[in-house]
């Protein structure tokens, strides 16, 4: 399962990032068209897209024109689960849990503790609870976050995107805080 906050714009910097996401999407579309017309009997798998993205990101970085994005690539091919990460430098790794941005610092330890070693026995309900707790922690800790998110479930049958959802939050404790305003 994947989860993402729905706030996409943090000003002009994010607008540029969106343009670069579309640029990357164009690269992938061209790659898919080339693969289709090659007609050699091979189909693109999640791992192929992952490797292609790593080459694109490394190539752009080497030309001193990086795409300032991080990508999580997830899929399910031939009964095999895949989850990988690609950053602006073309650095890649695969893991059973991945978090990007601020989530890499706050959510990743929660994910590792709850998931690693239980990847095959974890139920969908447990996975949703774990992700909701991560999103709640991130919402409480990031002043620029948004309490709305979507989940994507990837199975052999395809991808199911659901939401938007809100994390249940409790702000009563904030009334007792002093020293941060009038």
Does the structure show a pLDDT above 50 at 101? yes
What pLDDT shows up at residue 173?
74
> What is the rounded distance in angstroms from the CA atom of residue 112 to the CA atom of residue 110?
6
Degrees to nearest 5, angle at CA 22 with 19 and 25 = 155
Length of the chain: 182
Does the structure show a pLDDT above 80 at 24? no
What's the whole-number mean pLDDT along residues 155-181? 78
ω into 124 cis (within 30 of 0): no
> What is the rounded distance in angstroms from the CA atom of residue 46 to the CA atom of residue 158?
12
What's the whole-number mean pLDDT along residues 130-138? 89
Q: What residues have CB less than 8 Å from 174, skipping those under 6 apart?
A: none
Among 58-67, 82-91, 140-149, which stretch is predicted with the lowest mean pLDDT?
140-149
What pLDDT shows up at residue 169?
81
pTM of the model: 0.75
Domain annotation for the chain: domains and CATH numbers: 2-170 (3.60.20.10)
Degrees to nearest 5, angle at CA 54 with 48 and 58 = 150
User: If DSSP codes are grouped into helix, strand and coil, which group holds residue 66?
Assistant: coil
Residue 111 pLDDT grade (very low, low, confident, very high; cuts 50, 70, 90): very high
């Amino acid at each position: 399962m994947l989860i993402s906050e729905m706030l996409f714009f943090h000003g002009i910097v994010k607008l540029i990032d969106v343009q670069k996401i579309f640029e990357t999407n164009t690269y992938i579309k061209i790659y898919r068209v080339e693969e289709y017309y090659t007609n050699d009997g091979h189909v693109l798998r999640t791992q192929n897209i992952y490797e292609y993205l790593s080459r694109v990101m490394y190539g752009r970085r080497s030309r001193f024109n990086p795409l300032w994005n991080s990508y999580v690539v997830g899929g399910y091919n031939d009964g095999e689960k895949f989850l990988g990460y690609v950053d602006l430098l073309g650095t890649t790794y695969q893991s059973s849990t991945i978090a990007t941005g601020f989530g890499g610092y706050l959510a990743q330890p929660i994910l590792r503790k709850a998931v690693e070693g239980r990847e095959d026995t974890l139920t969908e309900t447990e996975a949703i609870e774990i992700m909701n707790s991560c999103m709640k922690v991130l919402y409480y800790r990031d002043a620029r976050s948004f309490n709305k998110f979507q989940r994507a479930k990837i199975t052999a049958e395809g991808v199911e995107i659901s939401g938007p959802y809100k994390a249940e939050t409790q702000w009563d404790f904030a009334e007792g805080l002093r020293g941060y305003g009038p």
